[in-house]
Structure 1
């Protein structure tokens, strides 16, 4: 629970605050970018919520925070039903991000062929009950080793299959299904695994219905730059291979949603996203040095 006595001095005056345990994962700013900003390497409240919708957005930020660093002095607003949050057509943001994955986002998808998670949130009662009410979880798709979090607990609770690339399988020894090589693999009609080595050796993206691209930590939407971007400073395996993994998407994959583990999510026409992706790949291949960026963005 956030402690008012540890309130960061950069918070705007008022009941809502972020304390000094924040790890700057960006989740609060994704939920309420008009209310939360960054100062001294952590999130702070830049403006107090003033409407019912803004209070709801701040409450979502409080729930999604992996370190319970967001608090409010006084009556706690209601939290029931805020997560999972439906983004579009049975695709949900889980919320309840886990410190085990440095606050990465995870997603839940409802489909007749079987519901699935992409990466894992914290294993918490309210979310588990909600997933049960939506039909449970038949598959858990893990994008890479960093964002496994509580996947083992969800798998055991729901009896779900767990998918991960063999190169990152050390992070999920309980996985039931291993992806291999670099060729796309069809998991079911309309659901394709796209191996994308770079961020980690076993990074994978998942494409649903030529519309939703779940990118893990391989690709995200930069709110600051208003374009697709990638994490150079947090590339653990090979920046060059990550560029080539993204290049393979340009002419082979259609998508309208970018749903990232870390970093912003975005919905736009395919042509706009393709143009942005093409520019990003060109930049990554150029070998130009980074300048003026922050840890969650490429500045170019």
Structure 2
């Protein structure tokens, strides 16, 4: 499938579907906010330089890296849009789970996730608008979709900020209730996104099959580069291995479900972008799990080597 054909792909979203997507977005961000506590931000005061460095790697470094990949690969405009939307999304709780599984610094991971989640209400729409302007084909695509920057920013910010504020307020007021609700709403939000991706793939299977040769390599390269940026960023800041691993997953694992919902609700369901984000939402779990396994394998190998040296 050539570039022109990919850019013509579109996921049809009617008014009822938009309401459903908005409800999914609310549940997603509300469930994220239910897990946020003031203690999650404690490292900001204790280790401000490392926290700031990690935040900048997420909010500035990843979109900048993405723009560099786009300029190097010159993908179709819709695919470039999908890459920029993913890079503009905050991290997710899955990064905390993978950090723990990899033997990383979970407290650092939780702090970065909390900051990126709270700042998403402003930073995600701003980042999408700013970075999309820097690649002319994407800028032209956004113009063709008649995306008015101010309404887009206001609508997206409100859709993200309201459930975040309500969830954090409930957690501060009734933490036990918030924890119980989070146990239900967290998996529910993930299930809705998984269902959304699955239905989209099934309904558009011929399209995904035809475009897969273009989309899958780009997603794998993009995600691998994001993981590498996190690891190299941690190394450049002189972090120990556990903290480097945390930053690796924070930069490489993005809330792609949020990106998909924003795309479908605000960008008329551009098919190439939806394919990129949907594929990312599956692949980053595979890539992240493989990377966590690699880290643990490395640890076990080191332990065996140390034990062998002690015996000799």
User: What's the TM-score bracket when you normalise by the shorter of the two chains?
Assistant: under 0.3
How high is the TM-score relative to the length of structure 1?
0.26
- Higher relative contact order by CA 8 Å / sep ≥ 6: 1 or 2? 2
Higher helix share: 2
**Structure with the higher strand share, 1 or 2:** 1
TM-score (norm 2): 0.25
Larger gyration radius, structure 1 or structure 2: 2
